[in-house]
Amino acid sequence: MRKYTFTTSIQKEGKWYVAQCVELGVASQGKTLIEARKNLKEAVELYLEDTPVRELPKNPIIGKLDIVHV
């Protein structure tokens, strides 16, 4: 058994909250923040069942991108 910590992003889009695991590109949604996070956890667990450990990202670089839009 291994423990993983991933970065998540949750945004409201219309009536739904869209949750994404940044490192894996796995996404899910829910009508509430709690539901979106729970659904994302389930989606990531399913993803990990089918992905060999050697293919998981190591040491991802997470940062910000600043853009000035005119």
Does the domain at 1-70 match CATH 3.30.160.250? Answer given as yes
User: pTM for this one?
Assistant: 0.79
What is the pLDDT, as a whole number, of residue 27?
97
Give per-residue pLDDT as tens, 35-59: 999 999 999 999 988 877 777 776 6
Residue 60 has pLDDT above 70, yes or no: no
Q: What is the mean pLDDT of residues 15-44?
A: 95
How many whole angstroms separate alpha carbon 8 and alpha carbon 64?
A: 14
Q: Which of 55, 70, 1, 13 is nearest to 27 (CA)?
A: 13
